Amino acid sequence: MSTMSTRSAWRALHYSAKRRAFQPATPFRCFSCTRAAQDQSKQDQERMTHFGFTNVPESSKDRRSLQLRRLLLRHNERPDVPGNPPHLEGPLRPIPKPRIPLSARINNPTQKGWNILDIAGGTGDIAFRMLDHATNVNHDIETRVTISDINADMLAEGRKRSIDTPYYNTPRLSFVEANAQSMPHIPSNSVDLYTVVFGIRNFTDKQAALNEAFRVLKPGGVFACMEFSKVDNPVFDAVYKRWNFSAIPLIGQLVAGDRDSYQYLVESIEQFPRQEEFKGMIQKAGFMIPGRGYENLTGGIAAIHKGIKPIKA
């Protein structure tokens, strides 16, 4: 299998990089040798993370994720692509309207509109819908959304799509290229609503991203995340996994000529924490969990997670 060959390649690279440290016969201490051995040890002990079912150095995961998302963007632009599978994320499918409770925001009469940060939302699907909801349902023309994405190609696509919206070239919509795990350009306690839809699954350090979300949110601010999750019915789960691991990579091979990237998609879904585990990670970042903390969609194929930053006295 291609995944196994990738795993073997990484393992071969890992072991070939190891060198046996030279031990001098003389009793003196070689400082240059010691320093070289320490540097080599640091390289050997580089933190690893998963990329689907494959273990890779953390430093390479973001690059691989960028390459995958570029592939998906090209796939979306092809006019000959047949009907997309119903559960794949954007840009492979239209993303459903997020069920974000706008009434959950703490009412602050001194500030007009919301400051919303949409993470991994480069193509604009979610941001445009939230602005439409604020404008047409809440009659709010002050709410603004910042779209943040690590992928410049996705942001370029979002800017292109925004031309056809009322928000193009207005203060209500902005784009920024950034890594969600560290956003020093965004002030602490400055965001009312933080959203991430089908994106956090690909982050190298999910806990770091949750900690950063907590930092940038205002007291009383809302964290809202929609992500693929775990099916709660064993029979349905067996059917769903069989579809994922057999059909999706085959579709990728036939349509895009890239089975490996689509194999990663289904593997990354399988690797993502279960609902209760991810809820615990949100709590660990400092959030209060309202009620159960998450809502399963389609039997757990996806779930919406929520957290609220406590109001400090």
- Which residues define the annotated binding site? 123, 149, 179-180
d(CA 227, CA 288) in angstroms, rounded, equals 19
Q: What are phi and psi of 62, to 5 degrees?
A: -60, -40
| H or E stretch at 242 | helix 234-256
204 DSSP 8-state letter: S
69, 258 contact by CB (below 8 A)? no
33 DSSP 8-state letter: H
What are the strands of the beta sheet with 217-228, ordered from one edge? Answer: 173-177, 144-149, 115-119, 191-197, 217-228, 302-308, 294-297
Show Cβ contacts of residue 64 under 8 Å, excluding neighbours closer than 6 positions. Answer: 51, 56
- Nearest CA to 128 among 84, 98, 88? 98
Counting Cβ atoms within 10 Å, is residue 84 exposed (0-12), middle (13-18) or buried (19+)? middle
| H or E stretch at 49 | strand 48-51
DSSP letters, 296-310, are EEGGGTEEEEEEEPP
d(CA 53, CA 302) in angstroms, rounded, equals 20
Encoding tokens for residue 6? 């990738």
186, 212 contact by CB (below 8 A)? no
89 DSSP 8-state letter: P
d(CA 223, CA 103) in angstroms, rounded, equals 14
Annotated binding site for S-adenosyl-L-methionine: 123, 149, 179-180
